[in-house]
């Protein structure tokens, strides 16, 4: 079997997604997700200019060899653009292999290790009462676990919290020029334990509560927050310090038993080396799309398993349904699955991608269709072209640019 066509599809049914479609001489197709939120076109160029011409004529069954060819063969290794591009190829090849076998991908990864996948959803509010309402909505939707983020008194716009304009209409957080949010770490550190206290008081001790600090704290600030949250038993504190410095987590870990989750911006096992071998974290947050595909993510998950670290793939809407489907197959197979982030997709996104995965009673399942189980409607995709859309930036009150 040979690859005879490789096409990159960019579509924006609400937000931008980049998809690679490979076709074999037998007429089989495979899809892979290459979406890098806010930097989408760099991956389109990497794929179209430097990768797809090399794929024509290759045997699609040689997944590991193709991965090494694209990773080692380029000489320049790692980085989000490279690894998103390689991920798309890797997933498209797994999709084809599983279709040839007539099996859902998880069967090729060892088969189901569980019946269904626990998820968490996002709750947010500009103040505590609005957050409590949002938690209620997520629970009514069936989510068994909830990430809580709230506005901080004195700040106008904070990560993870929706904003509205003067007429009450929702302001999309992705814009043609980045929105500017504001930040004050002391105010956040005072407010966040109070937010947890209010949610625990309302929903009791049993509900798993997660929180994302989005890389904004120094190690000693993160240690303080971890300690202050201990009475409320968070499921995890995510990305408490900037992700580049693995050693920072040593200090945090020494001071708190609050579980730590890290890794949505990582793209290589080497980003995790110290974190995993020194057991500085409890959850690895990488997903297929930004980590070079199913092939390397499986290796990371197995590595993490030796240290009793569990998996929790990144899963906001900016992972396309193709990337989400691939992650769900891996989630179902690996022994150390922890939880899957899932914020759902718009109805139009479901029409463009037509995924066969299901979300029932707060749990996902990748479905049993051969391959990864996603069909792309290319005509509908073409009707919704790319639009420039950037993530916000974040400034301290004196104007200094801070982590977003
Ligand atoms: C986040 C994301 O889901 C998460 O945990 O940190 O919302 C993140 O901000 C976006 O994926 C950025 O593209
Ligand atoms: Mg996050």
> Per-residue pLDDT tens for 256-296?
999 999 999 999 999 999 999 999 999 999 999 999 999 99
Cβ(287) – ligand 1 distance below 6 Å: no
pLDDT digits (tens, 9 = 90+) for 86-123: 999 999 999 999 999 999 999 999 999 999 999 999 99
172 pLDDT more than 90: no
Q: What is the pLDDT of residue 288?
A: 98
Strand partners, 120: 341
Asked if the domains at 3-103 and 108-369 fall in one CATH topology, the answer is: no
290 in catalytic set: no
Question: 14: alpha, beta or left, given left = phi > 0 and alpha = psi -120 to 50?
Answer: left
- Average pLDDT, rounded, for the chain: 97
242 pLDDT more than 90: yes
| Catalytic residue chosen out of the listed positions 173, 211, 214, 329 | 214
Cβ(341) – ligand 1 distance below 6 Å: yes
* Measured distance CA(275)–CA(269) in Å, rounded: 10
- Burial zone of 375 (CB within 10 Å; 0-12 exposed, 13-18 middle, 19+ buried): middle
Q: What is the pLDDT of residue 316?
A: 96
Give the number of other CB atoms < 10 A from CB of residue 240.
29
* Measured distance CA(340)–CA(118) in Å, rounded: 6
Task: Using most ligand atoms within 8 A of CB, pick from 264, 327, 342 the residue to mutate for ligand 1.
Answer: 264
Query: Closest-lying ligand to the alpha carbon of 314?
Result: 1
Cβ(318) – ligand 1 distance below 6 Å: yes
Q: What is the pLDDT of residue 303?
A: 98
User: Which ligand 1 atom sits closest to the C-alpha of 404?
Assistant: 9
Give the number of other CB atoms < 10 A from CB of residue 206.
7
User: Which ligand 1 atom sits closest to the C-alpha of 212?
Assistant: 5
pLDDT digits (tens, 9 = 90+) for 318-335: 999 999 999 999 999 999
390 in catalytic set: no
Determine the distance separating the centroid of ligand 2 and the alpha carbon of 237, expressed in angstroms.
10
165 pLDDT more than 90: no
pLDDT (average), residues 169-197 = 94
169 pLDDT more than 90: no
171 pLDDT more than 90: no
Comparing C-alpha atoms, which of 312, 245, 314 is closest to residue 280? 245
| Domain boundaries along the sequence of the chain | 3-103, 108-369
CA distances 363 to 114, 142, 160, 171, Å, are 11, 8, 22, 29
Q: What is the pLDDT of residue 101?
A: 98
The percent of residues above 90 in pLDDT, for the chain, comes to: 96
Query: What is 108-369's CATH number, 3.20.20.120, 3.40.1550.20, 3.20.20.70, 3.30.70.20?
Result: 3.20.20.120
SS3 187: helix
Q: How many helices (H) and strands (E) does the chain have?
A: 14, 18
Q: What is the pLDDT of residue 308?
A: 98
Query: What is 3-103's CATH number, 3.30.70.890, 3.20.20.70, 3.40.50.2300, 3.30.390.10?
Result: 3.30.390.10
Residue nearest to ligand 1 atom 13, measured at CA: 37
In this structure, the chain runs to a length of: 404
Cβ(40) – ligand 1 distance below 6 Å: no
Angle between helices 294-305 and 80-101 (to 10 degrees): 100
């Amino acid at each position: 079997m040979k690859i005879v066509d490789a096409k990159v599809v960019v579509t924006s049914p609400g937000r931008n997604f980049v998809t690679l479609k490979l076709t074999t001489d037998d007429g089989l197709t495979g899809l892979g997700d290459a979406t890098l939120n806010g930097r989408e076109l760099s991956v389109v160029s990497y794929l179209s200019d430097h990768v797809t011409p090399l794929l024509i004529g290759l045997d699609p069954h040689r997944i590991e060899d193709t991965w090494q060819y694209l990773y080692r063969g380029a000489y320049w290794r790692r980085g989000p653009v490279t690894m998103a591009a390689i991920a798309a190829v890797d997933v498209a090849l797994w999709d084809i292999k599983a279709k040839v076998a007539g099996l859902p991908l998880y069967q090729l990864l060892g088969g189901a290790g569980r019946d269904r996948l626990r998820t968490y959803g996002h709750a947010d509010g500009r103040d505590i009462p609005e957050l409590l309402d949002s938690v209620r909505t997520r629970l009514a939707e069936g989510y068994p676990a909830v990430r809580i983020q709230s506005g901080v008194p004195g700040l106008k716009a904070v990560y993870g919290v929706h904003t509205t304009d003067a007429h009450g209409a929702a302001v999309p957080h992705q814009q043609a020029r980045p929105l500017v949010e504001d930040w004050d770490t002391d105010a956040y550190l005072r407010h966040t334990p109070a937010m947890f206290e209010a949610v625990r008081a309302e929903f009791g001790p049993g509900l798993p509560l997660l929180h994302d600090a989005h890389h904004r704290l120094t190690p000693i600030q993160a240690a303080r927050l971890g300690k202050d949250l201990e009475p409320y038993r968070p499921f995890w504190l995510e990305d408490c310090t900037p992700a580049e410095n693995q050693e920072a987590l040593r200090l945090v870990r020494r001071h708190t038993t609050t579980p730590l989750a890290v890794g949505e911006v990582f793209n290589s096992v080497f980003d995790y080396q110290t974190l995993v071998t020194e057991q500085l974290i409890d959850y690895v947050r990488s997903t297929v799309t930004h980590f070079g595909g199913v092939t390397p993510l499986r290796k990371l998950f197995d590595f993490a398993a030796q240290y009793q670290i569990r998996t929790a793939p990144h899963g906001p809407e900016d992972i396309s349904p193709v990337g989400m489907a691939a992650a769900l197959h891996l989630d179902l197979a690996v022994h150390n699955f922890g939880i899957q982030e899932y914020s759902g997709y718009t109805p139009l996104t479901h029409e463009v991608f037509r995924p066969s995965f299901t979300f029932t009673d707060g749990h996902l399942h990748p479905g049993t269709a051969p391959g990864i189980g996603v069909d792309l409607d290319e005509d509908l995709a073409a009707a919704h072209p790319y639009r420039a859309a950037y993530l916000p930036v974040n400034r301290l009150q004196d104007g200094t640019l801070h982590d977003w």
